[in-house]
Structure 1
Amino acid sequence: MNKKYTYHILNIVTVIITVTMFFSCNNNFKEVQKIGISENEPIGIAEKFNLKFTNSGRLEADLIGAKMFDYTNRDFPFKEFTDGVILYIFDEENRKSTIISDYAIVYDNTNLIDLQGHVVITTHDGNVLKTEQLYYDQKKEWIFTNVPVTFTTKQDVINGNGFDSNRDFSNAEVLEVTGIISLDD
């Protein structure tokens, strides 16, 4: 009887352990994908890349860089360009403006590009904007900053503490202007 009682207890314990293990398992595909990938490490690295952005067959932008780190495996996904970028933006008439920066981050959820370090924009008509940080809102197609800027046109050098413009720079505005500006009478 003692042997039968022990056998019965072992069967109950085995069933309890099996049921506990069965219900403790989750079917979470995202967690399985993260196995072996540290959240602090990029999910991918690209070197010497040239990304072309088109819309209905027309080239809108061309992004060139030396290195890109892809952190889209994070809760707030982004791509980091540590060695700088060159971005060519083409308007509807295929005129090219150039943006150069030492560092950039593209935030996927907000469609915001943060350009930092010696940011220089040269517009298709020869105007030049220099600043240390500049944002580009891809959804609204708007360029802006609230740090000091120098905006050089064919006739003026305008300094200010901020800048706002649409994508093709036809509505460019230097904020909190300082310096000497020539005006037509």
Structure 2
Amino acid sequence: MFRTQYQIYFSIVMALAMTMFFSCKSNLDEVNKIGISENEPIGIAENINLKYTDSGRVTANLLSPIMLDFSNRDFAYNEFPDGAHLILFDENNEQSTVTADYAIVYDKTGIIDMQGNVILASAQKDTLFAEQLYYDQGREWLFTNKPVTFRRGQDVINGKGFDSDAKFNQAEVLEIDGVITLDE
């Protein structure tokens, strides 16, 4: 009788232990996130002066009063809520600049979304004014479907979109509203 009761208790304990063992899951990621809200940035940087280099040559300089780092999200990004100023240097060390009231950089896609009073001035003195402009870093391509004004030489072109390579060699204003030629 004692052995039968022992076997019953042992079987119940083993069944409970096995149930607990197989029902537990690894939640190390959740434990690591304790105290960090996904709605809050994981880091904040102020007065940024970030220089990008390639083979020892400065290719870009990013200036911004504040950057919020949301790399704790599944779709990681960096946000520049107070605007950004980017200076790009070509192979001849000529400068093109981009300014925007707001910018966000998505790590996985390499897309930069610039919004609010976006002004892009190339080294060749071409200038683009837009409400919003996207830059695909991988393809080095600029695009938008928002209203734009593009000035190239003496021509000012208004349209409802823009598509171009980063050097403006293939610049195209979409749905052109009008072209004004200025006398200089």
Q: How does 1:19-98 map to 2 (within 5 A)?
A: 20-98=19-97
Q: Distance in 2 between matches of 1:35 and 1:19?
A: 28
Give the conservation status (yes or no) of the 8 Å contact 1:143–1:164: yes
The unaligned stretches of length 5 or more in structure 1 are: none
Aligned to 2:133: 134
Q: Which is worse superposed, 163-172 or 111-120?
A: 163-172
Determine whether 1:108 maps to 2:107. Answer: yes
Aligned to 2:142: 143
The 1:68/1:10 distance shift into structure 2, 3 A limit, reads farther
TM-score w.r.t. the length of structure 1 is 0.84
User: 1:92-140: CA deviations, max 9, x gaps?
Assistant: 1111100000001111111100000000011112221101000000000
Between the aligned residues of both structures, percent identity stands at 56
The unaligned stretches of length 5 or more in structure 2 are: none
Q: Distance in 1 between matches of 2:30 and 2:179?
A: 59
Q: Distance in 2 between matches of 1:107 and 1:54?
A: 20
Q: CA deviation at 1:32?
A: 2.6
TM-score w.r.t. the length of structure 2 is 0.85
Q: Distance in 2 between matches of 1:156 and 1:44?
A: 44
**Could you say what secondary structure the match of 1:169 adopts?**
coil
